[in-house]
Structures are given as structure tokens and as C-alpha cells.
Amino acid sequence: MRKMITVFMISFIGINVFGQQNNEKELSNAEQFSAKSGTLIQKVFLPVGTIKKCEMQVIEYTDLISNTKQKALKLSYDVVSSYSTDTKTAVLDTDEIDGLMKSIKLMQDKVMLTVPTDYTEVSFKSRGGFEAGCFVSKGAWSSYLKLEKYDGKSYVWIDKDDLTTFYDLLSQAKVKMQ
């Protein structure tokens, strides 16, 4: 009987561990740095600009005990419903900015020049769950930023021309992150 209970418990634990989708927010390296316990963290927010009501800031995290620093890019977007306002956020590490900028340039210069007949998606994803991309819908390209991985309400829909503005804002952020 004891063996049967043990096998049942192991099976139950296995189903719980492997059978559930993990909807917890993934953290960037900067967010992990700022979440360390036993530290005194200072955050300085440096404004960069706004694209389609999505605010961009460089955050400078400083551990005041060890005097170590880390910077990141924060994107914030307020989703307004009839009852409340929910702020969606994404944090990108310094080492992810170049890859995002290259991805945007490739989308503009190669991907979006022609419209394929088949449904097509192109996307860049950060370690924290941020996504930027484009897809073909009804014979035209649509572009987006998605701030939170598991949240369909965190999309910021942008036009093709907005990609240039976003790229320019990323360039400004990169300067502030040095």
C-alpha cells in the first residue's frame, strides 16, 4: 500500500511539474540584478521618447552596498479598459539592443520590401519576453511590439514608418546606456 501511495504521489508531482504551462514573467538580467535580496537598489529613470503612446526609458540600477551598476531599456504602455488602467512593461538588457536594431533594419530593408502570398511572420524576441515583429495580413505587412510574453493585451501596433522612429529611439537609448 505504501508503494502504491508513493507511486501515486510521484506521478501526481510529475503531472503538475510537466503538465502546466509556465506563465510566470521571464526576467531580463537587469531585472534579476535589481531583484537580488540583501541589497539596496537605486533606480534612475532616463527618458528616451515615446512611440504610439509606448514610453521608452533607460533605467540605471545601482546596488548601493556593492556599488555595482547595470542599465537596461524599459518600455511601458498603458492599456485602458472601462474599469481600470493596466501598465504593460518590458525590460531589455544592454546586450540585446544591437540585435533588436539589426532586426528592425532587416525588416525594413529586406523582409517588408515584398509581400509574400503565404502567411508569414518575422519576430525578434528578448530574454525577458519582449517581442518585435511583423506579419502579412490581408496582403500587407503589419508591425508590432509585444511587451509581455503571455499577455495578448500588451501589443503596441505600429506602422511601417514607425519602425524608423523606433530605431532612432533605440539609437538614443543606446547612447544613454553607455
Cα 178 to the chain's mean position, in Å? 20
Query: CA 145, CA 142: separation in Å to the nearest integer?
Result: 11
Query: CA 84, CA 150: separation in Å to the nearest integer?
Result: 20
- Mark the ranges of the chain whose per-residue pLDDT is less than 70: 1-24
State residue 137's pLDDT score.
87
How many CB atoms are located within 10 Å of the residue 77 CB?
22
Order of all β-strands in the sheet with 140-146? 121-125, 131-137, 140-146, 155-158
State residue 13's pLDDT score.
46
State residue 96's pLDDT score.
97
State residue 9's pLDDT score.
47
Q: Which is nearest to 116 in space by CA: 93, 90, 135?
A: 135
Residue 129 per-residue DSSP state: S
Angle (nearest 5°) at CA 62 between 59 and 66:
160
Quick check: 49 and 30 in contact, CB under 8 A? no
Domains of the chain: 15-176 (3.30.2450.30)
